[in-house]
Structure 1
Amino acid sequence: MVLEQRTIDHIRSLSLHSEHEGKLSSEALQCIMERGWFKVFVPKEFGGAMLSLPEALRLYQYASWVDGSFGWLTTIGAGGGYFAAFMQSETAEQVFASPEAVIAGSGAPTGTAVRTDGGYIVNGKWSFCSGADHATTFTANCIIDHGDNSEPATNPAIRAFAFFPHQVEIDRDWRAFGLKATGSHSIVVRNAFVPEARTFSFLEQLAYHDEALFNYPFLPFAQATFCAVAIGIASHLLDEARSLAERKQETWQASKAGRYEYVMRLIGQAEDRLNSETAAFYDTMERSWSDHVQGQPITDEELAEVGQCCKRTARAALACGEMLIPKMGIAAVMENEPLNQTWRDLQVACQHSVLVSFEEE
């Protein structure tokens, strides 16, 4: 799982250029594909690894420490493997068998599908489809339009649809100030025919019933994966803060004695908090996964515990930047400074709805 230092340095050296391009460099993308990181949750018959959830979380943390967009796209691309158990076997083979296979898409039901002979006619637009530029398959949820002019249902029927790239238009509207290289654009589908075999529902698991991952609830799965990304980016931010402080040590000492020591203490405090919350996070996830593998049903209380732990850990990750950036000087606000980039990436990653708490803290 560990990359050579020269590979890490190369990926980071291309990071700012990737930001300007709005997509991951071909070298970084190839690095992910060569190591099979997009296929960690893909069944082995299609060349996947079927890692346990805790193993995958550590991979996501590591990849995100290397570079924020690199880790985010590893996580998003790998997460698509979760769909294999819900697809018909022929469709799963079409989607996942290629060594370059990777999914981009959206879970928001912002499209409509009208039944026709052999399948559906689909129209819609879906936002935040990370990895749109390199996806080999796109998936998106649609509300089924029965076309009978009846009032919209309170709980409308929803199905997921798998599109070929030629059926999709990419609307390059990703304008976030962080994770700029993730290509998290909207996709548009117009009057596309999708055969029944390329549709699926998360309420209908069709295969791999013995694989623990496909039976693990999706919400804590998503919360844990994005939390691992936040941990990785925050760890990189601490490294960059320490590096900047060391480069500025002489200048700071000449202008204000004690500043360097003060900043280094803050870095240590932020690191201690992050390490403590990270240890608790992995303890929670290992326990949850172990119980799940042993066949114990996950209770509502356990689901809440996982969610709260992920949100608390993400807050600790975000706090690393909140504590340090105001103390790091003018360099910290310059976009070409690695510390600034990691801080922007971290804020965007922690903005994901599954990590945000709307309760009093």
Structure 2
Amino acid sequence: MSPEALPSEELRKRAEGLVPLIRSHTAWSEEHRRPHDEVVEALAASGLTDLRRPRHYGGYETSARTLVDVISVLTQGDGSTAWNTGVWAIGDWMAGNFPDHVQDEVFATPHTRICVVLSPTAAATAAPGGLVVNGRWQFMSGAHHSHWQVVIAMAPAPDGSQWPVAALVPMSELEIVDDWHTTGLVGTGSVTTVADDVFVPQDRVLPMVAILQSQYASERNATSAVFNTPMIPTGAAGFIGVAIGLAQAARDEFLLRLPGRKITYTGYEQQSDAPVTHFQVAEASLLVDEAEFHAYRMADLLDDKGVSGEPWKLDERMRNRGWLGRVVQQSKAAVDLLAAASGGSSLYRSVPIQRIQRDIQAFSLHALMHPNTNFELYGRGLSGLEPNTMYL
């Protein structure tokens, strides 16, 4: 079944239906630095934590375009909630590439939530039947409400060197360090997790080199258009909906507050009468449009190649990273412009645009999302140079 045959409109409607609930808990989530239990339970009950869960386990295997749509809608409620939903979608996708009998174990739990971060900040040593892992991982979004974590560690390679591996570990075997004290994406609960002599069976371990080269271990998902895609473009599709969603939310909030607002210490009793306001909303709206354009062509390329099975060329991977940088750059520019036009009253925490601006700032600093990093990589390709990273 092609991604276009999946229930995208129904999933979008479910997301829209959750926005009021999500908004009602944003203050609690910021105060406690994690998602509210009621929000997570509602996401699970609506199936929105199953966006990339394999279909034969009751998931949706949504197309990238649907993923972008649903995540951007959830962002209208709260960027942190949408971010975590994207993380869980990526976690399900990564688990769906492990051997099928491993998936049977992982997806035995209804609405399984799997958190993941790609930094190999742990060490693994060989042990009979598997590996023993020790280390810690920062920025582990959604850890408080996850059942499993994809851990990345440096482990012995067949030639005796060290290489990064991905391993599936139950959250019950990891320690959570509640150290998430940040200015943006506060409600994600992106804490540090710690492994202390955690044994991982060999079946639950895959070399990152194989994953990055799309050499997956699942037989059941081998012909799936959703799972027949490279990891980095797939992972980016799980997050770009947050970027454009934050920009869309900033525009909506600005226009909602515009009627009746004046520009203090000027002759404008109505901010909407000021030419500067016209320029601001026009430019911001065009920036949102441009971000959406790049986001959707990223998603469409991913979906089209997943259906056709056509291999990704190196220049396509590098260009995709360039598009990603542009989505983030234009989204942040739109938010910053509207926040600057929102006046001193927008500093109150009850006004959403201050949270939106903090969230897009945090988003843009993510190592994979940073515009400068993405532009440099794309520019290397345009200059005829090889990429200086394996994360393509």
1:139-150 aligned at under 5 Å gives the runs: 139-145=150-156
**Partner in structure 2 of residue 290 of structure 1:** 304
TM-score, length-scaled by structure 1: 0.90
CA distance 1:232–1:120, change in 2 (3 Å): same
How many Å apart are 1:15 and its aligned residue?
0.4
- CA distance in 1 between counterparts of 2:66 and 2:199 reads 38
**In structure 2, which of residues 189, 192, 195 is the aligned counterpart of residue 186 of structure 1?**
192
How many Å apart are 1:253 and its aligned residue?
7.5
**Partner in structure 2 of residue 72 of structure 1:** 83
- CA distance in 1 between counterparts of 2:97 and 2:88 reads 17
- CA distance in 2 between counterparts of 1:225 and 1:165 reads 22
**Partner in structure 2 of residue 263 of structure 1:** 277
**Partner in structure 2 of residue 117 of structure 1:** 128
Q: Aligned residues, how many?
A: 353
Indicate conservation of the 8 Å contact 2:229/2:302, yes or no. Answer: no
**In structure 1, which of residues 210, 216, 222 is the aligned counterpart of residue 235 of structure 2?**
222
SS of the aligned residue for 1:50 comes to coil
Indicate conservation of the 8 Å contact 1:170/1:188, yes or no. Answer: yes
Q: Structure 1 residue 166 and structure 2 residue 180: aligned?
A: no
- CA distance in 2 between counterparts of 1:232 and 1:132 reads 23
TM-score, length-scaled by structure 2: 0.83
**In structure 2, which of residues 351, 356, 367 is the aligned counterpart of residue 353 of structure 1?**
367
1:210-359 aligned at under 5 Å gives the runs: 210-246=223-259, 248-249=260-261, 251-252=262-263, 255-257=266-268, 259-261=271-273, 262-358=276-372, 359=375
Indicate conservation of the 8 Å contact 1:285/1:306, yes or no. Answer: no
**In structure 2, which of residues 55, 59, 67 is the aligned counterpart of residue 56 of structure 1?**
67
Higher deviation after alignment, 226-235 or 91-100: 91-100
**Partner in structure 2 of residue 45 of structure 1:** 56
The letter for the 2-side match of 1:118 is G
SS of the aligned residue for 1:133 comes to helix
Q: Encode CA deviations 1:7-33: one digit per residue, 9 max, x unaligned.
A: 422320210111101111122111210
SS of the aligned residue for 1:187 comes to strand
SS of the aligned residue for 2:368 comes to helix
SS of the aligned residue for 1:353 comes to coil
Q: Which runs of 4+ in 1 moved over 4 A?
A: none
CA RMSD of aligned residues (A): 2.4
Please, which runs of 5 or more residues in structure 2 have no aligned partner?
A: 1-10, 380-392
- CA distance in 1 between counterparts of 2:305 and 2:100 reads 29
1:189-208 aligned at under 5 Å gives the runs: 189-202=195-208, 203=210, 204-207=215-218, 208=221
**Partner in structure 2 of residue 92 of structure 1:** 103
Q: Structure 1 residue 11 and structure 2 residue 19: aligned?
A: no
SS of the aligned residue for 2:272 comes to helix
How many Å apart are 1:129 and its aligned residue?
0.6
How many Å apart are 1:255 and its aligned residue?
4.9
- CA distance in 2 between counterparts of 1:254 and 1:245 reads 17
SS of the aligned residue for 2:19 comes to helix
- CA distance in 2 between counterparts of 1:241 and 1:266 reads 11
Q: Structure 1 residue 128 and structure 2 residue 139: aligned?
A: yes
Q: Encode CA deviations 1:290-318: one digit per residue, 9 max, x unaligned.
A: 14422322212222222212211211110
CA distance 1:303–1:105, change in 2 (3 Å): closer
CA distance 1:354–1:165, change in 2 (3 Å): closer
CA distance 1:170–1:157, change in 2 (3 Å): same
The letter for the 2-side match of 1:129 is M
Indicate conservation of the 8 Å contact 1:57/1:228, yes or no. Answer: yes
Indicate conservation of the 8 Å contact 2:64/2:302, yes or no. Answer: no
- CA distance in 2 between counterparts of 1:187 and 1:193 reads 15
